[in-house]
Structure 1
Amino acid sequence: MKELDDWLQALADEVGFDPADVDVEAVLDLAGDAAHHVVRPAAPLTTYVAGYVIGLAAARGEEGTPRATEVLDRIAAFARAWGPTTA
């Protein structure tokens, strides 16, 4: 998606990160899982929380810190498992 790639590059230029570090498909999949298995407004909230958790882990710099993909996968699985008995 050219427009999405252009937007990611513009964001990277604006705030200073490497767009190659962003797994766009994983983030979009996570948003979809949250929207479909929880409630639509959970999509932006869930992706924000994932980024926050990844940022905290990176800032701590502790050994054994989870990688971004591990955090995204764990939160996506949690969202997919969400249901009336989970809430």
Structure 2
Amino acid sequence: MSSTFTARDIIDRLSTVDPDTPVRLAINPLFPLEHTIGEVIVTTDALGGTVVYVTESGEQLGPVPPAVTVAVGWHEPTEAPRRSRSAVVAQ
């Protein structure tokens, strides 16, 4: 896929899910957070071409699930470290 994500790309991907499914924005690969979507604005760029802006509403919901950050290539898959079950000796 090119670096330009088009309205067709979004429509194609969203056409496979229930229309009542919530949609979120995943922002910031280094500290990924989940945001709600605000407005969708259609305007023109400096060259007169049509551009669509998907904005965030300002509501931050929390961290993006690890499976999402792995799927988009922001993070490597990881597992929680194994913990020792050895007894703690009281002093």
Instruction: Report the TM-score, using the length of structure 2 for normalisation.
Output: 0.24
Q: Name the structure, 1 or 2, with higher relative contact order (CA <8 Å, separation 6+).
A: 1
- Bigger Rg, which one: 2
Instruction: Report the TM-score, using the length of structure 1 for normalisation.
Output: 0.25
More helix per residue: 1
